[in-house]
Structure 1
Amino acid sequence: MSPIKVLDSAIQNKIAAGEVVERPSSVVKELAENSIDAHATQVEVFIEESGMKQIRIVDNGDGIHHTDGPLLFQRHATSKIDTDYDLFQIRSLGFRGEALASIGAVAKVTVETKHTAGNPVFIRFEGGNLVEQIPGKERQGTDITITDLFFNTPARLKYMRSMRTESGKIIDIIQRMALANPGISFRLVLDGQEKIMTKGNGNLKEVISDIYGLNVARHAVEIEAHDADFDIRGYAIRPEINRSNRNYLNISVNRRFIKNFMLSQSIVNAYHTLLPKDKYPIVVIDIKMDPKLVDVNVHPSKIEVRFSKERELNKLLESAVSSHIKDEMLIPDVSREKPRRQERPTQEALDFTAERAAPPQAEPSVQEAPRTREDQSTKSDYRVAPERTVLKETQARKPESSAPPKRRDTPSSVPHTHPGEKEREKLPYLEIVGQLHGTYIILQNDTGMYMMDQHAAQERIKYEYYSENIVQGETDGIPLLIPYTFEFPMNDIIAIDDRLKRLRSLGFEIEKTGIRQYAVTRYPNWIDERDPEADIDELIHFVSSKEDFSVNQYKEEMAIMMSCKRSIKANHYLDRPQIEALLESLRACRSPYTCPHGRPVIIHMSTYEIERMFNRIMK
């Protein structure tokens, strides 16, 4: 083995570049962060051939003093920290003094800059060596150009991905910086085409519109929360606009974009039951905190951070997003475009809620169909007719009018509020029109037509009931004078034995009485009293089939499972009192917009959209 020796500084910089400069987007990130630290209000990024040919960043920041030119590309040379104590309260985006040295070691760099209190200077650096330093042009700020990236490290070039992939990474970096810094104008030009342009006026909602489009910005809900340590501000997009991955969770700390799984999971948890499976929200959140509470010196990329009070921050973030989102009226609008402001032609409106006057006649008798266990309800007993039931109005037809139907105090009009509700209405005023295919309830009000999925609606009602009684409810149960005895196959016995403690924590008193037999002497009070034995058997099977996780997760999954199995299904025709009871129960829900699986309960089609489809309103 050869003797130990200190590597040459050029080799050291190339090794460091392997961590700091992974790809062209890493160069863009480091240089743009320097511009932000220099108090720039405008940052322009010009990219050629995905950054492999040229990366140019121009800002109007403080600039670099001409006397600091020789130190610009030296490793660990920085103006952002002075002592080791500064590492515990980092207030700038950059601080390690590695970026320019690492970039200069694997590329050709030119810098033209002017400090507010210095002379303009032009510097050229190539492969780790200072080549030229001469007076520059009189322009406030810094103009830095990187060409021939990795020209002296061919192994790195070999593992570069496609041009499209590298360009996508650069776009992602600039988008996240723009969202984290709405007070800075960002412009990105790829191969002569402008891809991103933000105004930099401090309006985050406008930046969201510039990045994600007007439709996303229209569904943005402002988020704000504070405590003694954290100040959370930003926007969360309503759940009807979602994505198939977590890449749209934009979290920044003190205007630094970060990636943190626990914070991301807190946001996902805040959308619980509001999103379908494997769908994720779009969120832009900035968290302000004392720099002493966060450690950004974890990795050279400075994206991974650690928090001193992570549990408290996660709780505050989840609570803030959840409370603001669930305060919104989350009824999806299926209209294809927003109504334009224009004079609408006068036309007659049909009153579909009024019936033609008819001679009194006896209402046809309908036999009640036998109810199965899945049709039984814990809170309301919905009768299901075997044949389609015609919905009738008891009042005479009113004269037709050109005005939209007004609210009426009739049996078909569901009350606008339910007793004890003081907060803003979760659902608008709705009138029942009828039922479609025994599956969807047709409703209307002054704004247009609504369709409600009866199964999803009762799923939400039952989920909130079970969630309250299973997850937060008391564990005191109902004792049995004669125990229920259950027998299971041997392949289930090991799993059940392993989960007996968890079953007891749910309110069961269960003991093993034989090799394959179990006896239950008490069951929770949320079990359906009409057929508790079958429910208990089903729950034991459910619990035994699950992998090892927390009791609260067991309870949550059971609440979802039970609400789904016991809700009315498709192709079941309901009479008017049943529909009224269903809608009234839905009004009492905390979040009546989605079922526990994230599917919409009710959707809206505006009057404008309906009339436009029938060519009553021409474009």
Structure 2
Amino acid sequence: MSKIKILDPKIQNKIAAGEVVERPSSVVKELIENSIDAGASEIQVSIEESGMKEIRVIDDGEGIEAEDAPLLFERHATSKIGNDYDLFQIRTMGFRGEALASIGAVAKVTLETMNRDSEPVKLQYDGGVIAANEPGKARIGTDITIRELFFNTPARLKYVRSLRTEAGKVIDIIQHMALNHPAISFTLLIDGRERLRTSGKGDLKAVLADIYGINVARLAVPVEAKTPDFHITGYIVRPEVTRSHRNFINLSVNQRFIRNFRLSQSIINGYHTLQPKDKYPVAVINMEMDPKIVDVNVHPAKTEVRFSKEHELNALVEQTVREALREETLIPDVEKSVKKHEQEKAEQPGFDFSQPKAKAAPESGPDTGNSALSVRETPGSRSESWPKVSGTEKRADYSTGRSPKREKAPFRKPAQTSTGTSEAEPLEQEKLPYLEIIGQLHGTYILMQNDSGMYMMDQHAAQERIKYEYYYENIQKDGDGVPLLIPYTFEFPLDDVITIDEKLHDLRDLGFEIEKTGTKSYSVSRYPDWIKADDPEEDIASLIDFICHKDHFSVNDYKEEMSIMMSCKKSIKANHYLDKRQMEALLEELNRCDSPYTCPHGRPVIIQMTTYEIERMFNRIMK
């Protein structure tokens, strides 16, 4: 007797349901995708008991013709593909024809639909069997209700999580859908109460405000890039807004929500050192591309995709995010919730920050004196070749109450000509506004002001950023290195020796000439140019020790980590009091950084308290 047989269609559908319908949110996702494919402009989702009791989705799409309605719950019945070639150019949200068959196999379904060219129809489908087929309400679109989900699959029902968790999953799905389709109005009702509504006017920033709040939306920065293969659009939120996980990075391909670790990492890399470690940004990025270069037929949930040009796409996304942030002045306000709109202010005496008529000419390379702080302590760094503005130029004229402003012209960097003289070359616009230093707080924070309010700068974070950019720039360069007439000899514990032996080649790639001279000893006869400390022997020992404690070593990644480590180690600490000239030198040096807004660990360097916020706290502005 034959042991092999074809399974009953009911069993087939239950097996398929195990892959497609994992939880209530899976049902919501599949039904919304059908509504989007039907051309709906309004979609209303209502759930009771987190979808375990009832899920209802109503749309105003084109509806389904009466003669097609009985096929809705058959496996692989679809209008979206016709041949195998269509699988390579999928432009719809759904295409397999499995969702309704899978849902119908594990729930009780009522569906009412009407197409413009046919009569309305109402279907009832219980656990894989059509229970009724009768006329429905005359309303173009589709109204589908799912009740008693998993009523006939107790094993699946047993492992459904708490109602709070399941409701959160449904909210997450609808938020992703709304962000990917801003031209569709989404409404979510949970146990009869409206929890989310979007306008459907096509304004993605308005949807961001509906979902994440106005304070997040106002910090959103638009991004766009286009190549022959890809068109990237969307918003990224400024780095002062962070989240503790990646779920707020919304990615979509041709408006289909996807999850892709590498693309998410590309966005995080675009923020680079602008955010703290283990914190993640808020971003909404849609990538338009030819369907032929993306495969969406990878996973039953259709959220995992594969790209034929993944490396190029990752690089483009990272570059686009980085360039968008580079154009922003990323100084956070102390009170983000305060709107900076024009309001009538109470009369009060004010400081005059206008430009004085006569301004002293800048001096080239002022003498900073014998200061305790050496902002330019690394010989050969960029700062030594830049002209400094004299302290007298920026000193306030207290007799008139006036404070000079820096010119908004670009900085000029001296370039050596063939005759050895310097001539001015234009450089990019300074990134910080004019700031007048007014003092220091606790030997840690430098207080500054301008006509928009008060600023505080963390002196340690500022010098960390300065030194980080110096090290990061120079570690990448290949130089001859610094030879030693008498090599440095280092001895390490025996348990570190094995690791160092394995990484001698990597150390040489970094510019060290290092040889093993004993069981536990090593000799360094040349070290890289970028090590510019007063005691290079100590730095070299620290670097070798740092390398040997890294589990996964990559030269490129290590250059980044080493730049951060050395910048932190060599920067001034808290409770270190500076004089006015030292503070001005630090500010000037910071202003030449590529990204002067955060330290390499992502902490802010400067924060602002606007004049409006200060006046509001002193009740000079009455609400």
Give a deviation string over 1:104-142, Cα, whole Å, max 9, x none: 011111111111222211111111011111122211111
Alpha carbons 1:475, 1:506 under 8 Å: kept: no
How far apart in 2 are the matches of 1:97 and 1:262? 30
1:190 to 2:190 alignment: yes
| TM-aligned CA deviation for residue 289 of structure 1 | 0.3
The range that moved more, 554-563 or 568-577, is 568-577
How far apart in 1 are the matches of 2:317 and 2:525? 42
- Structure 1 counterpart of 2:74, which letter? Q
| TM-aligned CA deviation for residue 394 of structure 1 | 6.9
- Structure 1 counterpart of 2:349, which letter? E
1:418 to 2:411 alignment: yes
**CA 1:545–1:338: 2 relative to 1, 3 Å:** same
**CA 1:209–1:550: 2 relative to 1, 3 Å:** same
- Structure 2 counterpart of 1:596, which letter? P
**CA 1:529–1:57: 2 relative to 1, 3 Å:** closer
How far apart in 2 are the matches of 1:326 and 1:577? 29
How far apart in 2 are the matches of 1:156 and 1:464? 54
Partner of 1:226 in structure 2?
A: 226
| TM-aligned CA deviation for residue 398 of structure 1 | 2.7
Give a deviation string over 1:383-440, Cα, whole Å, max 9, x none: xxxxxxxx9997763345xxxx5x516xxx6987422565454111111111111111
Partner of 2:592 in structure 1?
A: 588
Partner of 1:435 in structure 2?
A: 440
Partner of 1:316 in structure 2?
A: 316
How far apart in 1 are the matches of 2:120 and 2:615? 65
- Structure 1 counterpart of 2:12, which letter? Q
| TM-aligned CA deviation for residue 491 of structure 1 | 2.1
| TM-aligned CA deviation for residue 618 of structure 1 | 1.7
SS for the counterpart of 1:66 is: coil
Match of residue 449, structure 2, among 444, 456, 459: 444
1:408 to 2:404 alignment: yes
The range that moved more, 519-528 or 229-238, is 519-528
Partner of 1:338 in structure 2?
A: 339
SS for the counterpart of 2:272 is: coil
- Structure 2 counterpart of 1:612, which letter? R
How far apart in 2 are the matches of 1:370 and 1:439? 14
Alpha carbons 2:430, 2:592 under 8 Å: kept: no
Q: Cα RMSD over matched residues?
A: 2.4
Partner of 2:513 in structure 1?
A: 509
| TM-aligned CA deviation for residue 311 of structure 1 | 0.4
- Structure 1's unaligned 5+ residue stretches are 354-365, 383-390
How far apart in 2 are the matches of 1:570 and 1:141? 65
Alpha carbons 2:468, 2:564 under 8 Å: kept: yes
Q: What does 1:228-243 align with in structure 2 at a 5 Å threshold?
A: 228-243=228-243
Alpha carbons 2:270, 2:321 under 8 Å: kept: yes
How far apart in 1 are the matches of 2:429 and 2:200? 35
How far apart in 1 are the matches of 2:398 and 2:373? 36
- Structure 2's unaligned 5+ residue stretches are 355-367, 385-391, 413-424
The range that moved more, 10-19 or 334-343, is 334-343
Give a deviation string over 1:594-619, Cα, whole Å, max 9, x none: 00000000000000111111121122
Give a deviation string over 1:538-589, Cα, whole Å, max 9, x none: 1111111111231101111100000000001111111111111111111110
How far apart in 2 are the matches of 1:13 and 1:141? 26
- Structure 1 counterpart of 2:116, which letter? T
1:497 to 2:498 alignment: no
The range that moved more, 434-443 or 343-352, is 343-352
Partner of 1:24 in structure 2?
A: 24
How far apart in 1 are the matches of 2:166 and 2:393? 64
How far apart in 1 are the matches of 2:429 and 2:370? 38
Give a deviation string over 1:198-253, Cα, whole Å, max 9, x none: 11111100000001000000000000011110000000000001100001000000
How far apart in 2 are the matches of 1:64 and 1:415? 63
Alpha carbons 1:375, 1:566 under 8 Å: kept: no
Alpha carbons 2:437, 2:449 under 8 Å: kept: yes
**CA 1:206–1:149: 2 relative to 1, 3 Å:** same
Alpha carbons 1:440, 1:454 under 8 Å: kept: yes
**CA 1:251–1:40: 2 relative to 1, 3 Å:** same
TM-score by length of 1: 0.91
Match of residue 543, structure 2, among 535, 539, 543: 539
| TM-aligned CA deviation for residue 507 of structure 1 | 0.6
How far apart in 2 are the matches of 1:608 and 1:370? 37
The range that moved more, 283-292 or 609-618, is 609-618
How far apart in 1 are the matches of 2:125 and 2:136? 15
Q: What does 1:249-264 align with in structure 2 at a 5 Å threshold?
A: 249-264=249-264
Give a deviation string over 1:246-283, Cα, whole Å, max 9, x none: 01000000000000000011011111110011100000
The range that moved more, 95-104 or 154-163, is 154-163
SS for the counterpart of 2:527 is: strand
Partner of 1:356 in structure 2?
A: none
How far apart in 2 are the matches of 1:394 and 1:229? 54
1:461 to 2:466 alignment: yes
Partner of 1:347 in structure 2?
A: 348
Q: What does 1:41-440 align with in structure 2 at a 5 Å threshold?
A: 41-335=41-335, 336-349=337-350, 377=378, 379=381, 397-399=398-400, 408=404, 417-419=410-412, 422-440=427-445
SS for the counterpart of 2:67 is: helix
How far apart in 1 are the matches of 2:400 and 2:589? 33
- Structure 2 counterpart of 1:428, which letter? P
Partner of 2:491 in structure 1?
A: 487
SS for the counterpart of 1:604 is: strand
Give a deviation string over 1:33-90, Cα, whole Å, max 9, x none: 0000011111111111111111111111111110112211000100000001111111
SS for the counterpart of 1:67 is: coil
Partner of 2:359 in structure 1?
A: none
Partner of 1:39 in structure 2?
A: 39
**CA 1:223–1:370: 2 relative to 1, 3 Å:** closer
| TM-aligned CA deviation for residue 476 of structure 1 | 2.8
- Structure 1 counterpart of 2:558, which letter? Y
Partner of 1:617 in structure 2?
A: 621
- Structure 2 counterpart of 1:506, which letter? L
- Structure 2 counterpart of 1:187, which letter? T
| TM-aligned CA deviation for residue 352 of structure 1 | 11
Alpha carbons 1:414, 1:430 under 8 Å: kept: no
How far apart in 1 are the matches of 2:559 and 2:189? 52
Between the two proteins, what is the percent identity of the paired residues? 64
| TM-aligned CA deviation for residue 342 of structure 1 | 2.4
**CA 1:582–1:330: 2 relative to 1, 3 Å:** same
Partner of 1:600 in structure 2?
A: 604
**CA 1:584–1:368: 2 relative to 1, 3 Å:** closer
| TM-aligned CA deviation for residue 30 of structure 1 | 0.1
Alpha carbons 1:196, 1:211 under 8 Å: kept: yes
**CA 1:245–1:603: 2 relative to 1, 3 Å:** same
SS for the counterpart of 2:288 is: strand
Alpha carbons 1:416, 1:429 under 8 Å: kept: no
| TM-aligned CA deviation for residue 522 of structure 1 | 1.3
SS for the counterpart of 2:483 is: strand
Alpha carbons 1:377, 1:567 under 8 Å: kept: no
**CA 1:184–1:140: 2 relative to 1, 3 Å:** same
- Structure 1 counterpart of 2:453, which letter? G
Alpha carbons 2:371, 2:582 under 8 Å: kept: no
Alpha carbons 2:243, 2:281 under 8 Å: kept: yes
How far apart in 2 are the matches of 1:118 and 1:96? 25
| TM-aligned CA deviation for residue 518 of structure 1 | 1.4
